[in-house]
Amino acid sequence: MTALIAMDKLLFWLGIGAAQKGAGSRPMERRNWIMSLVVGVLVAAMMIVGMFLLLVSQKL
């Protein structure tokens, strides 16, 4: 069972790498790290708001 979970994670990360290579993503040193940080924070905030709305809607 543990080997299956480990293989699943390996395939996930290989898939992510293949998708980035296929999309032609730039190396990290040329990417604007501030923009990446802002987008990451916005995505996390949207996820938190969505979870909160789901929690509130279930209590009604």
What tens digit of pLDDT does each residue of 24-41 get?
666 666 667 788 888 889
CA distance 24 to 21: 5
pTM for the structure as a whole: 0.47
What residue type is assigned to position 25 of the chain? S
- Residue 23, token pair as written in the block: 């999309």
HEC string of 2-57 equals HHHHHHHHHHHHHHHHHHHHHHCCCCHHHCCHHHHHHHHHHHHHHHHHHHHHHHHH
Ordered by start, the domain boundaries in the chain are 2-59
What local confidence, expressed as pLDDT, does residue 41 receive? 92
Residuewise pLDDT in 10s, the chain (60 residues): 455 555 667 777 777 777 777 666 666 666 677 888 888 899 999 999 999 998 888 876
